[in-house]
């Protein structure tokens, strides 16, 4: 699975990290509870299509993506969520919805919500719904060189206030 490739990549770059095994969890919030990590430190990966090209949008689990904000930040013509069938094709080594936010391992751009960069550490799914990797955000940013953008809102803000808002 992808965990082996991810660990080899991190080790090859001399990155300090921890692999956390936890009970099966499917949402980022469930992962946070299961792994005893604050939700704002769990980075969830949402695959979007930017003018038809897949990209990873990475944001804190405690927030939700605002597609309108992302479209404006990228000056894109069209932003849409990738479908489950597309996820299976793009990430054959991963369980659906558990892909790690390392676009370089999948040949795609990584877009990071500016709020995620505020945390010293991040944790994210490592290809399955039972394992995650925890590491320093600065190391993640150095390895990935993502586009840092404003495209997420607090979950407490009602999604219907934002056109295209989704979690």
User: 12-54, pLDDT tens digit by residue?
Assistant: 999 999 999 888 888 877 887 778 887 778 899 999 999 999 9
In-domain check, residue 119? yes
Residue with tokens 């039972």: 130
pTM metric for this prediction: 0.88
In-domain check, residue 28? yes
In-domain check, residue 64? yes
The domain containing residue 35 runs over which residues?
A: 2-154
In-domain check, residue 160? no
Average pLDDT of the chain to the nearest whole number: 89
In-domain check, residue 49? yes
In-domain check, residue 67? yes
Residue 75: CA count within 13 A, CB half-sphere: 0
In-domain check, residue 161? no
Opening angle at CA 83, ends 54 and 153, nearest 5: 75
The pLDDT, as a whole number, for residue 29 is: 75
From CA 166, how far away is CA 116, in angstroms rounded?
18
From CA 135, how far away is CA 151, in angstroms rounded?
23
Could you give the number of structural domains in the chain? Answer: 1
Q: What CATH number has the domain bearing residue 24?
A: 3.90.960.10
CA distances to 62, 78, 80 from 97, in Å: 16, 22, 16
Q: H or E element: which one contains 4?
A: helix 2-12
The pLDDT, as a whole number, for residue 26 is: 83
Q: What is the mean pLDDT of residues 125-140?
A: 94
In-domain check, residue 96? yes
Those residues with Cβ within 8 angstroms of residue 107's Cβ, 6 or more apart along the chain or in another chain: none
Tokens of 50: 């930017």
Residue 162 scores a pLDDT above 80: no
């Amino acid at each position: 699975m992808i965990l082996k490739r991810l660990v080899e990549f991190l080790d090859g770059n001399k990155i300090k990290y921890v692999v956390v095994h936890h009970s099966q969890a499917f949402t980022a919030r469930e992962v946070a509870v299961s792994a005893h990590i604050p939700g704002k430190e769990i980075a969830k990966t949402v695959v979007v299509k930017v003018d038809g090209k897949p990209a990873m949008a990475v944001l804190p689990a405690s927030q939700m993506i605002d597609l309108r904000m992302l479209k404006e930040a990228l000056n894109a013509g069209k932003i849409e969520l990738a479908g489950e069938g597309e996820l299976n094709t793009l990430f054959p080594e991963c369980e659906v919805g558990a892909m790690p936010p390392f676009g370089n391992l999948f040949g795609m751009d990584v877009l990071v919500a500016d709020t995620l960069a505020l945390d010293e550490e991040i944790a994210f799914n490592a290809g399955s719904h039972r394992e995650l990797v925890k590491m320093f955000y600065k190391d993640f940013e150095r390895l990935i060189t993502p586009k840092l953008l404003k495209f997420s809102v607090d979950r407490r803000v009602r999604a219907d206030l934002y056109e295209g808002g989704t979690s």
